[in-house]
Structure 1
Amino acid sequence: MHKKIVVVQRRMTHYRLAFFESLRQQMTERGLELVLAYGVGTAEEQGKNDSAEIAWAHKLATKYFWGGRICYQPLKSVCNQAEMLVIALENKLVCNLWHQFAPVPYKVALWGHGANLQGNPGSWREKFKRRVARRADWWFGYTEHSRPLIAQSGFPADRITVLNNAIDTAEMRSQFESITPSELANWRAAQKIGNGLLGIFLGSFYQEKRLEFLFEAAGAMRSQVPDFELLLVGAGPQKSLVEDFCAKHEWAHFGGMLKGRDKVLALASATVMLNPGLVGLGILDSFVCEVPMLTTDCGLHSPEIVYLEPGVNGLMTTNCLDDYVRQAIALLTDPARLNAMKLGCRKSGGEYTVENMARNFADGVERCLKVGDPK
């Protein structure tokens, strides 16, 4: 009889579908049964239109209280005869506390960043979270950035598995590899982009992306590299800033929100990806389409920033406009170095995949099942 491993998500998003399908396959191959359970998000989260359904998973009754700050999701029904339960570390998930602190007959693992990256470490909420973080048999951290955050709560370092968080990039890779030079030339012509060097910003337009820093840097780059152009792809609350900038500079192009092959064509057209602000999972786009990322040590990044290897698959400059411009121009005007970084991107793109993430998760499950209970 297969050992039953229960994984709970407060809500299901479309970008997790490929991961859970891959994880289910990994578990089956190892003689384990994956039982996936999830609920629904808050009213605000449901308005994002990023929710998804998995036919073989269990739907949990979900209720929110106190303006969405407390979530009630009873798990008892899915935990019957389980060998292991994997839950998220969120203060709002009050039902999780029972499974962590009560004498339950199964292993309990936590999954998360290890801390609220935007929270105040001295607040009672974060102190409570650090206390609760120790009540587990195992920890699954998103990236290597998570490991020290988990360990500083007092959790044993040898019971932490780093997943290397990823989204499905298989289709993007397939599209990128199928693009022909003529298709690329036609796309650039349709966007009224010249044949020179192109920097691309791809993401949401909001404050943490530091668009004004980007605009100033791009202007300085254009003044020193006359054939440099900038393409801005995305949407968000600061969209008007982008439109105004592009309207004033003929070398700057607003691409709007692009998806599918158009998004891949935009990336394939670019020489470098410019994002001086917050970098998250978008770094995987950089890797798959072999466009080195240039960012700064601005202190705003998501855990996935650890995937960036300066000088290998991208660059991280100091948080200084002159340094950012100087290093960007040096890279743009050095074809050999650019090609080397493109190869670095390709290598990283093959490493950070949902398949490898699922394999890391399954490895962690097997290791957890073999050890005693530190709780």
Structure 2
Amino acid sequence: MATEKIKVLIQQPILPPYRLATFRALSQDPRLDVTIAYGTTTKGMPLESVENPEGIKTISFPNIAFGSQLAINIQPKIWSIFQQINPDAVVFELNPRNLTSVILPKIFRRKGASITFWGHGIRPKERIKSFYSKQTKWADSTILYYPQGKEDLIKLGVPAEKLFVAWNSIETEEIATLTEPYTADRNEIVTVCRLTPLKKVPLLLKAFLYATEHLGLDAKLTIIGDGPERAILEELRNSSPHRHRVNILGPLWKQTDIAPCFNRAYISVSAGQVGLNAIHCMAYGVPMICADDELHSPEIMALKEGENAYFFPANSVEALAHKLVEAKNNPQQRIEFSKNAYDYTHANFSAQKMANNIAEAIIVGYQNRNKK
């Protein structure tokens, strides 16, 4: 029998810092009693799990991972946590590479819990569409990061009323209090991302060094993040006569630490895969330059060429260098792009909005499971 509040267990591969604002907002929902069960950081992961975060009930445990960056992940501890909490609803990662999400959901449902899946949905080059359609057809509800993911599953026969969209977001509410007016005289380039091959940050560094004489003596590049390619970037920087114009800051998680970098930037760049960094920079009113043909995450849909972003041919140092100069030399266009980026992001993305949509999916899933 369910308690007055719906007791919810949410499984996560890790608990990254950018997800805290959403989970804090979700934990404040008076209809839900939420516990986050997540894996601790695995060696080789560019993101670290937050331990004992304030404002959220959590249980952490070691991941059992095979391959790099949780290529295959098992979280058997979820079984004992389920028995300990006895939840009314469980949210699983929609990911065929997390074997716990493949094996345990039907078992938990037979024990009375509603099952909600949460994930990206079918990626453009995904080969195992049948996994996504089968899982989401029998599940009580599914949360997707973007509308196209919902449309793809509807085409595969998943009932629309079971599908919900919660745009991936960050703490835009806090960012709004930290953002300074965008001005034409800004002179820095910033990138915030994991330093992995998918993000192609060395390509950005090469493009910046290629373009330095056309960007002006005050132009600088700031790289925020950590990962396996940090040593490559440091070697590239240290071997350049312009090394004093490149700052590699490592990982920064607090917006109060990140804000000064965005508030000095005339442009943000994603040289490889676009992810949540698109929402992050636009929340500060900073336009983005990104590659036109990469395996982007759903956040790419927020970037509109000619409105809030510039695109360049993927993998071209020269083309990216040209875009850096082109954007720098068009201050009025950048100011317009900045306003468009800020307005669009704050109208559509927030941790609270994401939490509200997640809560709706959980509650509808719980109701579906308990229909008489």
Query: What TM-score do you get using the length of structure 2 for normalisation?
Result: 0.77
2:90 is aligned with 1:85 = yes
Q: Aligned runs of 1:328-367 on 2, under 5 Å? A: 328-350=324-346, 351-367=348-364
User: Structure 2: 5+ residue runs without aligned partners?
Assistant: none
User: Per-residue CA shift, 1:227-260, capped at 9, x if unaligned?
Assistant: 5724132333323433344341427422422634
Report which stretch shifted further, 106-115 or 246-255. 246-255
How far residue 196 of structure 1 moved from its aligned partner, in angstroms, is: 6.5
Cα 1:149–1:78, aligned 2, differ >3 Å: closer, same or farther?
A: farther
Q: 1:144 aligns with which of 144, 147, 152?
A: 147
Q: Contact between 1:199 and 1:228, CA under 8 Å: does it hold in 2?
A: no
Give 2:309's aligned residue.
Answer: 314
How far residue 292 of structure 1 moved from its aligned partner, in angstroms, is: 0.6
Cα 1:127–1:221, aligned 2, differ >3 Å: closer, same or farther?
A: same
Give 1:200's aligned residue.
Answer: 190
Give 1:131's aligned residue.
Answer: 134
Q: Contact between 1:114 and 1:133, CA under 8 Å: does it hold in 2?
A: no
Q: Contact between 1:142 and 1:164, CA under 8 Å: does it hold in 2?
A: yes
Give 2:35's aligned residue.
Answer: 36
Cα 1:310–1:79, aligned 2, differ >3 Å: closer, same or farther?
A: farther
Q: 2:201 aligns with which of 183, 207, 211?
A: 211
Q: Aligned runs of 1:139-288 on 2, under 5 Å? A: 139-151=142-154, 153-177=156-180, 197-219=187-209, 221-227=211-217, 229-234=219-224, 235-247=226-238, 248-250=240-242, 252-257=245-250, 259=252, 260=254, 261-288=256-283
Q: Contact between 2:189 and 2:219, CA under 8 Å: does it hold in 1?
A: yes
User: Structure 1: 5+ residue runs without aligned partners?
Assistant: 182-194
How far residue 312 of structure 1 moved from its aligned partner, in angstroms, is: 2.4
Cα 1:167–1:315, aligned 2, differ >3 Å: closer, same or farther?
A: same
- Greater Rg by CA: 1
Cα 1:263–1:106, aligned 2, differ >3 Å: closer, same or farther?
A: closer
Give 1:189's aligned residue.
Answer: none
How far residue 71 of structure 1 moved from its aligned partner, in angstroms, is: 2.6
Q: Contact between 2:25 and 2:355, CA under 8 Å: does it hold in 1?
A: yes
d(CA) in 2 for partners of 1:137 and 1:314? 38
Q: Contact between 2:143 and 2:358, CA under 8 Å: does it hold in 1?
A: yes
User: Per-residue CA shift, 1:123-178, capped at 9, x if unaligned?
Assistant: xxx6445432322121101223532454455322342111011222444443334x
2:123 is aligned with 1:121 = no
Q: Contact between 1:8 and 1:87, CA under 8 Å: does it hold in 2?
A: yes
Give 2:115's aligned residue.
Answer: 108
How far residue 302 of structure 1 moved from its aligned partner, in angstroms, is: 2.1
Cα 1:148–1:283, aligned 2, differ >3 Å: closer, same or farther?
A: same
- Partner AA of 2:75 in structure 1: C
Number of residue equivalences: 348
